[in-house]
Amino acid sequence: MTTVELDAERCYRAVAGRDPRFDGWFVTAVRSTGIYCRPSCPARTPLEHNVTFHRTAAAAQAAGFRACRRCRPDAVPGSPEWDVRADVVARAMRLVADGEVERTGVGGLAARLGYSERQLNRLLTTELGVGPLALARAQRAQTARLLIETTQLSMADVAFAAGFASIRQFNDTVRSVFGTTPSALRPATPRTDGGAPGWLTLRLAARAPFAADEVLLFLGAHAVPGLEEWDGTTFSRVLDLPHGPAVVRLSPGAGASVTARLQLTELRDLGVAVTRCRRLLDLDADPAAVDAVLGADPALADLVAGAPGRRVPTGVDADEVAVRAVLGQQVSVAGARTLTARLLPLAGQPLPEPVGTLTHAFPRAAVLAGADLSDVGLTGARRAAVGTLATALADGTVSLGPGADRDEARRSLLALRGIGPWTAALVAMRGLADPDVWLPGDLALRRSLATLGSSDADAAARWQPWRSYAVMHLWALAVPSLFTRPVDRSPS
């Protein structure tokens, strides 16, 4: 399902088989009912001549269809396509999901991508059937439904928190997208866990198989005091969002899901917070596609069979990942955590009040570039590298946002003194969520390859386009303490 044109015959087979693996890849619009559904909808399979297939919910909505209230196609994992692809449309989709249209409008979105508004509209409409405004509208509708169902906020507060400009626009959109009024979407008892006041509780769905405890353990093992917290079950951290800092607590949910508890400075940051948490946990990955490629290689077959659906935990902000990668060069994980923690009081934005042990957001590049790092404990060369990187991020010489060109980001990072191929590759994998990254010279990977009787050439030849996932399997072999599932140490 990675081609631009949808294969109608293949799509219909997925619908007839109610195959959940394709949820999020496309939606099925049924002419006779005016409703669009996810492929796995339990309703009676519509006749083939009555259906059309759309790549996004926004496209189905623009064609006049409303969301099925039974299968809730707006509440499934997103399409992995936008994480895998690196072209302009995929970069635009990542920026739309991160709230760029709400913050800067279509003009700002186009400028971030280096295109005119007209060119960008043409590109998106040609491939997706709708432009950026329709895509942003669909996302606002999804955020609104989330707030309606999981909070007791007034409908006026929901409307503005979801990004609508007026109550009327909110009402009209909800009726159009869901075929009912906003108040009718609200259950008698909102679906929360009865958490503390001021916290929103959400369920973030993933594609099965998914081991939430393993992803959270990996993140927890790298937790930086003051910025992140790990209690053995729940991973918490501060998010630096457009309208103020937030705190999120992530814990394993029922089935293939994660429970997220969010405390936001402003509710209108909810959509951005959810997008960044999904990226952090790699929830929109396609484990079937990944495991099919990696599991077919005898060198990795046992590792994949022992840990199906293994994810690549990333970061909530690529600038942060880049700075932490430089700090972590040639030091232990514990040493990197200590050095990073020392940056927080120097340049990080403090929370209005500590939340548990959480005290600061990670420093923004512009602030870090002007900070005195002499007391952090860095060598002169490392301190210079951090300063150079922060300055490049602040002035735009290096761009690592959701819409960044991955190849250009790598080239610009390698042009900076103090950043080598391994660091640039780590930023691509864990900052830009590139699924096809190999870490050159990584000692843990070398040990695992030697154990398996494999080589770097195998990564280049047989593990594309999922080399980032191969890295995680090989790290699990070399450093099992960072993972929950057993690893077979014997060669295949």
Catalytic residue among 23, 291, 434, 442: 442
Tell me which residue of 73, 71, 72, 66 sits closest to 26, measured CA to CA.
Answer: 73
Cα(391)–Cα(325) distance, integer angstroms: 16
CB burial string 297-309: b at 16+ within 10 A, e below:
bebbebbbeebbb
Residues 247 and 244: their CA atoms lie apart, in Å, by 10
Nearest in space to 299 (alpha carbons), one of 469, 437, 463 = 463
CA distance to 392, 430, 439, per residue, from 381 (Å): 16, 24, 22
- Per-position DSSP letters for 92-141, written without gaps between them: HHHHHHTTHHHHHHHHHHHHHHT--HHHHHHHHHHHHSS-HHHHHHHHHH
**Residue written as token pair 């010279």:** 441
Whole-number Å distance between alpha carbons of 301 and 297 = 6
210 torsion bin: left (phi>0), alpha (psi -120 to 50), beta (else): beta
Q: Is 442 a catalytic residue?
A: yes
Active-site hit among 11, 23, 37, 302: 37
| CB neighbour list of residue 190: distance below 8 Å, 6 or more residues apart | 149, 150, 151, 152
Residue type, 185: L
Q: Encoding tokens for residue 393? A: 């991020």
Catalytic annotation on 19? no
Catalytic (active-site) positions: 37, 442
